[in-house]
Amino acid sequence: MKISSRFTVATHILSLIATQEPPLTSERIAGSVNTNPVVIRRISGQLKKAGLIAVKAGIGGATLLKPLDQITLLEVYKAVDSVEDGELFQFHENPNPNCEIGAHIQGAMEQTLRDAQTAMEQVLADQTMADVVDSIRAELA
C-alpha cells in the first residue's frame, strides 16, 4: 500500500510559499517540484479549500493563511489525500464467507489496522510545517 505523492508535493508547496520571494506562481512551484503546473494548481486548490493558503489568479501567486507552526502535517495530509471513509486501509471485497479464513480475516485485522492508522496520524499531528522548514534550513546550513 502506498500513500500518494500529493502529501509530499503539498509539503513542498507550503515550504516554498514560506521561504521564497513572491510571486509564487504554479509554474515557478512546478519548476521546484519538477512536475506539471496543472498538478500544482490541483493540489494548491485543495490546500486553499482547507484554509491553508490563498491563491491569486495570474501572477499573484500563493500565500500562507496560517503560521507554519500552526499547520500540522496531519492537516496537510487530510487536505490532499482523501482516504475513503477516512480509513487508510481497505479490505478486499467479498472474501468467501464459506472459507474459515475468508469469514474471519477482517475481524482478525481490523484493530491492528486501526491502531496503525492512529499511530501514523499521531506522528503527523505532532509535526508542523515549521518543523519541515526548520529541517530544510538545517540541511542548507
Domain ranges of the chain: 6-140
Q: How far is 43 from 45, CA to CA, in rounded Å?
A: 5
Q: How far is 33 from 30, CA to CA, in rounded Å?
A: 5
Identify the H or E element spanning 35. Answer: none
141 residues of the chain, pLDDT tens digit each: 556 789 999 999 999 999 998 888 899 999 999 999 999 999 999 999 999 999 987 777 899 999 999 999 999 999 998 665 567 777 788 888 899 999 999 999 999 998 999 999 999 999 999 999 999 999 999
The domain made up of 6-140 has a fold known as Arc Repressor Mutant, subunit A (1.10.10)
Please, are residues 64 and 76 in contact by the beta-carbon 8 Å criterion? no
- Residue labelled with grid coordinates 534550513: 137
pLDDT at 118: 92
Percentages helix, strand, coil for the chain (3-state, rounded to 5) are 60, 5, 35
Q: How far is 40 from 46, CA to CA, in rounded Å?
A: 10
pLDDT at 58: 73
